[in-house]
Amino acid sequence: MCGIIGVTGRSGVSRLLIDGLRSLEYRGYDSAGIAVQTEDGLTVLRRAGKLAELDAVVSELEPFGTVGIGHTRWATHGAPTERNAHPVVDGPERVAVIHNGIIENHEVLREELVATGVEFRSDTDTEILAHLVSRELAGGASLGQAVRTTAQRLEGSYAFAAISADHPGVLAVVRCQSPLILGVGDEASYLASDIPALLPHTKRVMSLDDGDVAVLTPGTITVTDVDGVEVERDVRTINWDPVQVQKGGYRHFMMKEIEEQPSAVSATIAQCLSEDAEHIRIPALDALGPRLETIKRITFVACGTSWHAGLAAKFYVENLCGIPVDVDYASEFRYRQMQAGPDHLIVPITQSGETLDTLTAVRQAKAAGSPIIAVVNVAESSADREADASVLTVAGPEIGVASTKAFTTQLVALYMLALDLASRRGALTREQLDERVQPLRRLRFAMEGALRHKEHVRRIAYHFSQARDFLFLGRGVNYPIALEGALKLKEISYIHAEGYPAGEMKHGPIALIDANMPVVVIATPGRVYDKVLANIQEVRSRDGQVIAVCAEGDERVRSQADHVLEVPVVDEDISGLVNVIPLQLLSYYIAERRGCDIDQPRNLAKSVTVE
């Protein structure tokens, strides 16, 4: 949601800003703009709609300067129009501001400014920032001081950056509970809401704590903390490769990311093994120390796809460790009478590490004394920094809005977390734990095998591309996979789809089934295989069309289903990682056939950083 970029110290800055915004497009937006400090003051260009609209005007005017800020806006306050696009400016147009987040007390501040004669030209909560910074500058403050004083008046979550026509070469930014990362260059400095925008320029990044203000000039970054005291913040080198954020010959990031899953899952497995790669070892569990023994309950909190991974984790932990598990939508958890405390482990699961609902749930649980272990893909993200310890998934940057490789890496990390937990608590012997390593090593080949059926999945997808509704059924560890299959389809193809536990079908959804209803059933070997076959019969008896995900060569399923999506067989516990692949492909090809915008589906943002 909203992408932010800022650069100081590079010539041709307007082109860099456009390229930076393009690499943040995946976050979701509906208008875009840049502001460049030029010889004549500030040049601000904004357009509603896609970046191409802004790019066209920037290419024509090419404002020249070495300092600038850019923004992609996902509308919250005010319609997605040019008038409400960022950067927003103060009255004399000497200050330009970009902002991610929500200023909750903006109405009060707006009234106060209006009472002093300020005229507003947008409907955004952001505009107050430009006027407040401008007022501070007029009183003699430096840009950094002006941003700090403004931030002290704000309630809500935000990251905002400002430039001023009267402060050449300077960018100032403050962060409070919204994503922001700084890029450290030799002769230039950068800010962005996510790493992909920085990767072409530098791999050295700095994270800010909440309340920090950073002042960037070419090649220097000065940080002051919430009390205004100058502080050092760590600079770390990120190991993501710039090619990972390029399409590399694929039409869509989503397909590239689907195909990257075997290697991403292998890398995540390697991360959860001991140095000799023989034993499962999750160092994050060490962080719990003696508290590990006292954990009586675990709650996984997450949103969307990550919540589906949490459901699978419930299956793993309850089966392997015998600890009671809840799985909660973060947006629900945070508003309930929360069950948290020192003997209640909270595990946030988040690809981005910046989903606001998940972060708020973490903060509340932490305040109640719960230990926190995050399962997160982005190192140094807020979730990683705020947890007691993290299990890092190694999906690399995920750009497609529809999560794919982040999900499968979460599944495997959660499975390995459950195994190590079971062993540490005596529910599994060391030998039993080690026996699980080989099947995990073979997993990548099974995932590659599932991908080899791509062409067949495409044919089935094209056959069903005009369906109006879909039902996805699964049981046990494959119930979350059914939910995920349904979510993928609705996200990128806009076809209504529901996921259900297959055994629950008789209690309602069966009423929907007729000859026009494709039903995807996950029917791979496992404890509930025969039960699922019975469910297939129930669908067939009502003329529903069954598309079954089944083991390669499974004649029983083949004889009962209308269509099959075959996959290699793996242990049931890890079968979700393989079974989800044909479902991801099915959604992809249906969306492609329907001409949908696969990587940036309408209304969706990759990283949901507001409530």
Binding stretches for ligand M6R (CB under 6 A): 303-306, 350-352, 355, 358, 401-403, 491, 604, 607-608
Asked if residue 99 lies in contact with residue 610, where contact means CB atoms within 8 angstroms, the answer is no
CB of 424 to ligand M6R, least distance (A): 26
Cβ closest to ligand M6R, residue 165 vs residue 605: 605
Cβ closest to ligand M6R, residue 484 vs residue 554: 484
What are the angstrom distances between the C-alpha of 125 and each of 103, 145, 160?
6, 21, 12
β-partners of residue 346 are 299, 372
Peptide bond into 87 cis (omega under 30): yes
> Distance between CA atoms of 380 and 209, rounded to whole angstroms?
11
H/E element, 489 = helix 479-493
Q: Which of 256, 314, 488, 606 is catalytic?
A: 606
CB of 357 to ligand M6R, least distance (A): 8
β-partners of residue 191 are 6, 182
CB of 579 to ligand M6R, least distance (A): 17
β-partners of residue 88 are 97
Q: Which two tokens stand for residue 131?
A: 């006027």
Q: Which two tokens stand for residue 153?
A: 């008046």
Cβ closest to ligand M6R, residue 159 vs residue 401: 401
* Of 85, 219, 88, 215, residue with least CA distance to 141: 215
H/E element, 430 = helix 430-435
* CA-angle at 118, arms to 114 and 120, nearest 5°: 85
Question: Pairing state of beta strands 213-217 and 220-224?
Answer: antiparallel
Residue nearest to ligand M6R (CB): 304
CB of 155 to ligand M6R, least distance (A): 24
Cβ closest to ligand M6R, residue 307 vs residue 529: 307
606 is catalytic: yes
CB of 16 to ligand M6R, least distance (A): 26
Buried b (16+ CB within 10 A) or exposed e, 513-544: beeebbbbbbbbebebbeebbebbebbbeeeb
User: What is the 3-state secondary structure of 286-349?
Assistant: HCCCCHHHHCCEEEEEECHHHHHHHHHHHHHHHHHHCCCEEEEEHHHHCCCCCCCECCEEEEEE
Question: Pairing state of beta strands 204-207 and 325-329?
Answer: unpaired
CB of 383 to ligand M6R, least distance (A): 8
Cβ closest to ligand M6R, residue 305 vs residue 423: 305
Cβ closest to ligand M6R, residue 16 vs residue 197: 197
Q: Which of 2, 272, 303, 550 is catalytic?
A: 2
CB of 351 to ligand M6R, least distance (A): 4
CB of 48 to ligand M6R, least distance (A): 24
H/E element, 205 = strand 204-207
Cβ closest to ligand M6R, residue 173 vs residue 361: 361
Cβ closest to ligand M6R, residue 64 vs residue 329: 329
Asked if residue 440 lies in contact with residue 268, where contact means CB atoms within 8 angstroms, the answer is no
CB of 463 to ligand M6R, least distance (A): 24
> Distance between CA atoms of 317 and 345, rounded to whole angstroms?
12
* Of 110, 42, 46, residue with least CA distance to 80: 46
Cβ closest to ligand M6R, residue 42 vs residue 598: 598
* CA-angle at 307, arms to 304 and 312, nearest 5°: 135
CB of 264 to ligand M6R, least distance (A): 15
> Distance between CA atoms of 381 and 395, rounded to whole angstroms?
14
Cβ closest to ligand M6R, residue 28 vs residue 70: 28
203 is catalytic: no
The per-residue DSSP string of 536-567 comes to: HHHHHTTTPEEEEEEETT-HHHHHH-SEEEEE
DSSP code for 269: H
Q: Which two tokens stand for residue 436?
A: 């699980």
Q: Which residues are tagged catalytic?
A: 2, 606
